[in-house]
Amino acid sequence: MEPIRVGVVGVGNMGSAHAKNILDGKVRGMTLAAVCDIEPQKLCWAEENLPGAARFSDYEEMLQSGLIDMVIVAAPHYLHPPMGISGFRHGLHVLIEKPAGVYVKQVEELNAAAKQSGKLFGIMLNQRMNPLYRKARALVQSDALGEPKRCVWIITNWYRTQAYYDSGSWRATWAGEGGGVLLNQCPHHLDLWQWIFGMPKRIRGFCQYGRWHDIEVEDDVTAYAEYENGAAGVLITSTGETPGTNRLEISGDKGKLVLEDGKMAFWELDTPERELCFTSKDGFLTPAAACREILPDGEDTAHIGILQNFANAVLYGEPLIAPGYDGINGLQISNAIHFSDWTGETVELPVDGERFYELLQERASHSRRKEHVVSEISDLQGTYNDRWKSR
pLDDT string in tens for the chain (391-residue length): 899 999 999 999 899 999 999 999 999 999 999 999 999 999 999 999 999 999 999 999 999 999 999 999 999 999 999 999 999 999 999 999 999 999 999 999 999 999 999 999 999 999 999 999 999 999 999 999 999 999 999 999 999 999 999 988 888 999 999 999 999 999 999 999 999 999 999 999 999 999 999 999 999 999 999 999 999 999 999 999 999 999 999 999 999 999 999 999 999 999 999 999 999 999 999 999 999 999 988 999 999 999 999 999 999 999 999 999 999 999 999 999 999 999 999 999 999 999 999 999 999 999 986 665 654 444 433 333 444 343 2
**Quick one: 159 and 198 in the same domain?**
yes
> What is the torsional sign of CA 37, 41, 44, 50?
negative
**Quick one: 114 and 259 in the same domain?**
no
Tally Cβ neighbours within 10 Å of residue 189.
Answer: 21
**Quick one: 195 and 291 in the same domain?**
yes
Residue 195: which CATH number?
Answer: 3.30.360.10
**Quick one: 249 and 357 in the same domain?**
yes
**Quick one: 237 and 318 in the same domain?**
no
- Rounded distance between C-alpha atoms, residue 9 and residue 370, angstroms: 23
pLDDT of residue 1: 82
Return the axis-axis angle of helices 353-365 and 104-117, rounded to nearest 10°: 120
Residue of 218, 193, 228, 140 lying closest to 326 (CA atoms)? 193
Question: What would the pLDDT profile of 90-105 be if each residue is shown by its tens digit?
Answer: 999 999 999 999 999 9
**Quick one: 348 and 207 in the same domain?**
yes
- Rounded distance between C-alpha atoms, residue 327 and residue 23, angstroms: 27
**Considering its fold, how many domains does the chain have in total?**
2
Residues with Cβ < 8 Å from 196, sequence gap 6 or more? 133, 136, 137, 140, 151, 250
**Quick one: 142 and 192 in the same domain?**
yes
Residue of 164, 154, 169, 177 lying closest to 338 (CA atoms)? 177
Domain containing residue 105: 4-127+301-323
- Rounded distance between C-alpha atoms, residue 2 and residue 70, angstroms: 13
Question: What would the pLDDT profile of 156-198 be if each residue is shown by its tens digit?
Answer: 999 999 999 998 888 899 999 999 999 999 999 999 999 999 9
Residue 77: which CATH number?
Answer: 3.40.50.720
**Quick one: 162 and 208 in the same domain?**
yes
**Quick one: 145 and 106 in the same domain?**
no
